[in-house]
Amino acid sequence: MSRTRLPLAALSLASVSALLLAGCSQSTNASKNTGDPAAAASAATGKKPAPFDKGTVKVALVRQSGAGDYFEQWGNGAKAQAKALGIDLTVYDAQADNAKQATDLSSAINSGAQAIIVDHGFPATIQPELDKAVKKGVKVVVYDVETATKGVVSTKQDDASMAQAVLDVMAKNLGKNAKVGYVNVAGYAALDKRDSVWKSTVEANSWKQAFKVGKVTDSTATDNVPLVSAALTQHSDVTGVFAPYDELAKGTVLAVQNKKLQDKVKVFGADVSNADIQNMTAPDSPWVATAGTDPSAVGAAVVRTAALELAGQLNKSSVEFPAVAITQDFLKSKNIQNMDQLRAALPALNLSRVSTADWIANVAH
């Protein structure tokens, strides 16, 4: 999505996306995680403030992750940064079960965690528990979650700029008065923000929206193939489709290919991950542009934000992570095949200067 994360890198995208969003399997119990052992961290030079000067700090990560490797990378970045900070991170993942996420959040509050990070989720489901956490004095940082609870720190991808970046490419490719399709789902914070930019872009370019379909499930990409295929059967003359979450984009790509329209229909997505890069650079792929943040870098930055909040050094109520536009042509011209190569080619993805201090060992991505 924010993988919304939907999320979003992020499922990241996003998010999920961000979003973001619904998961690929059902989780059982909370698990202790030490992070990606391959991740390196820069050395901290400053004196650790309280509570980090007294040993291990207990933090809970309550996730509503979705399908795809965006969410896996987001989680790996968060775990690696937690390990570098000396944080004992307990991870809960509801994976598409909203009731379970509320229960997970309640368990996190009662676990004695000094801070809780909430990665995606429906506000109506988790709002009461967020209120309880703040009232109990627990520091709370949310990622891609809309909340009215005072005292909660909000972190998110800049979803408006993300959508605008890829839609600018779409407008350049399609021109004015084009017939277009749209694959999206309402109700997720990141996707709703991307939707607002979509609507204004459609109007500004006098596009004709032929269809809107989409759903989020425990297998979002696969389950959207028949929806998009049916829409393309009725509207095979569209020249572009916007699917602003990478799992939605993957399903759209498969549908376009199944209908043998890859030479006529271009797909424009959002979020970026290893799988997304492979999808975009595959032979005859119609996915020509996306925009996103580095999900690993975002996960790490969210943990650093929570650390600064715990130390009383954040001094702000929100942190936003900028997105970067990425085209198929760029990936192919640089022979980019994975996120490591993309990070080297696009330094703008690096968030090492976001939410940091001299006492924090920043994880390298």
The confidence score (pLDDT) of residue 95 equals: 87
* Confidence at residue 16, expressed as pLDDT on a 0 to 100 scale: 32
Would you call the peptide bond into 13 cis, given omega within 30 degrees of 0 as the criterion?
Answer: yes
* Over residues 170-187, mean pLDDT: 97
Beta-bridge partner residues of 90: 32, 60
Query: Cis bond leading into 123, ω under 30°?
Result: no
How far, in Å, CA of 2 to CA of 27, rounded?
20
**287-292 and 324-327 strand pairing:** antiparallel
The SS3 of residue 91 is strand
pLDDT, tens only, 304-357? 999 999 999 999 999 999 888 999 999 999 999 999 899 999 988 888 889 999
Question: pLDDT at position 331, please?
Answer: 98
Is 246's pLDDT higher than 90? Answer: yes
* Mean of per-residue pLDDT scores for the chain: 88
Whether 5 shows a pLDDT value over 50: the answer reads no
Cα dist from 13 to 10, 276, 348, whole Å? 4, 11, 16
User: At residue 143, does pLDDT exceed 70?
Assistant: yes
Whether the pLDDT of residue 245 is over 50: the answer is: yes
Residue 141 has pLDDT above 60, yes or no: yes
Percentage above 70 pLDDT, the chain? 88
Could you read off the pLDDT of 92-108 as tens digits, one per residue?
A: 999 878 999 999 999 99
Task: Evaluate whether 22 touches 95 at the Cβ level (below 8 Å).
Answer: yes
**Where would I find the beta strands (DSSP E) of 48-157?**
57-63, 87-93, 115-119, 139-143, 153-157
Is a pLDDT exceeding 90 seen at residue 66? Answer: no
In this prediction, residue 71 carries a pLDDT of 87
Q: Is the pLDDT of residue 21 over 80?
A: no
Separation CA 144–CA 301 (nearest Å): 13
3-state secondary structure of 148: coil
> Structure tokens of 357?
């201090």
Kindly give, in sequence order, each residue whose CB lies less than 8 Å from that of residue 194, ignoring residues fewer than 6 positions away.
Answer: 159, 160, 162, 163, 184, 244, 245, 270
pLDDT at 9: 32
pLDDT at 117: 98
Rounded to a whole number of angstroms, the CA Rg of the chain reads 20
Question: What is the spatial distance between Cα 288 and Cα 70, in angstroms, rounded to a whole number?
Answer: 19
What pLDDT does 146 receive?
86
Identify the band that residue 20 occupies on the pLDDT scale cut at 50, 70 and 90: very low
Other Cβ atoms closer than 10 A to 70:
45
pLDDT of residue 39: 52
**The pLDDT value given to residue 11:** 32
Calculate the alpha carbon distances from 187 to 4, 145, 262, 293 in Å: 10, 11, 30, 21
| DSSP count for the chain of H helices, then E strands | 11, 13
Average pLDDT over residues 2-16: 35
- Average pLDDT, stretch 207-222? 95
Span 163-177, average pLDDT: 97
87 in helix, strand or coil? strand
pLDDT tens column, 109-134: 999 999 999 999 988 899 999 999 99
pLDDT value at residue 365: 67
What is the pLDDT at residue 54? 92
